[in-house]
Structure 1
């Protein structure tokens, strides 16, 4: 048993794009457990774009961190000590825990995972929050029907790549936006009918004319910005827009303006829905089961970008805003 623990705290609130000075790696003692508590050793932790909003002082759908607070993430780990009858040493669990080697937590914050059923890492990716976000965001908010054209921004990420594959399973024409030739190749491998490298495209509207000649029925928006401005001009009547993320704007300090979108909404009678995956919490098991069946059958594949070492977690997080990852970005803190 380690007597000390390394964990990241929020060192300061960033202005614009975060940098290394945003994070502080501190060493603390591991306290003795109280009744009901569990000590979890982190195996993998997730870094996700929404964490940028938690660095702000203002309100968001995710509670902001105070300066000096331990940063938190979805974690898969093993129980190494327990004063809680629900959990035993050696159990593998997932939960919202610290960016740390170890976290002391109450047992109610944890959920079991089965390493014999699927790799541990998938419980933070295709079988975890990103997979469920794709599942409910597309099927419940986007409501695709066979023959629809579905456009996905951020299509090579953990959420977007799963959306691409579910849309393909649903019998749709799928168009994905991504930021490198390698990612474009990946989208073609997983079933996208067309893929647009936004970093090599000057005119997104013209690219969509080629990729989606019959217009857009469903837009799964992970990004916002100029890509969304272009997609909105191509919406068909009764189109559905599921707003999952806006990574293009997360580091902006002011309110960004661009082409006004409402003129496109009026004649198309399009529906825009923002959603938070936690709204579907009562149905998480349904999504995980169905996603697991698709993965087992080979209908959905996944990729992961894994950064080794807790000390490199800030680099993994900052890389999200440069589009460095393909699929789910994880940090491996200790061996499985």
Structure 2
């Protein structure tokens, strides 16, 4: 067994100082990290416990009418918070679609953002060929069992997918991730927080060494009336998405005034379907409009041996989710 040291941080500054060296990681709920450690995938040299930092477990209103969700807020608490349910129903639905009630009671918002991408070969250390675990070793999934893998934004280095339901909703809502690190505080637009695999599949986010997620900020609520999170999976519960869609609309009568559409289960990061959003804006929610807009989301999709079905599934899921959001289904 590897030796691991442990430190309990009492404030953000102490946590950042304790995590300044490589191999040091923060631990909150631990629902993903501990699995990775037990499987030998993650081998931290030190754990910095951030669960006793005051103030990071709160949901608070922002002056512009938006909302700040602390990084230590439990997923179940965020899902059921009155402000989240009323102002950001898309996010509440996404939280409740994730994992089990027991896991949601432990998992934190910050930890949810840091979930490692899902891939059979990444999680099984018997497979040496994994660029995410062993950079330069290759990607076993490309020629292997790739039913759950990416169809968008993939690279020859990695075709794993991001597993977070919460993050798909946050991508659609234009959230901002607030972090503090050795160089101070910064705000990361959600589109820039997670990475595509590119030539560095070992990096899932743009966080720098020692940076701690402190909160997620949501802009003023514009999509409270017309939003729907659709998750398509092999089982009705406790399963990761094959394809998920976060759809949010502003409606002017029967016409779409503004649209937000993001996909999960299809890429190394939550995938914002901007072409689909543009195609919906200013149009009525007819089936022809929806099908044409949905096709734009997957026009650059690349299928592998086992996951070609995801292309048609993504198109149909977009149509269904937008119909549900618009109240025409």
Structure 2 length-normalised TM: 0.25
Structure 1 length-normalised TM: 0.25
Find the structure with the greater CA-based Rg: 1
Greater strand fraction, Structure 1 or Structure 2? 1
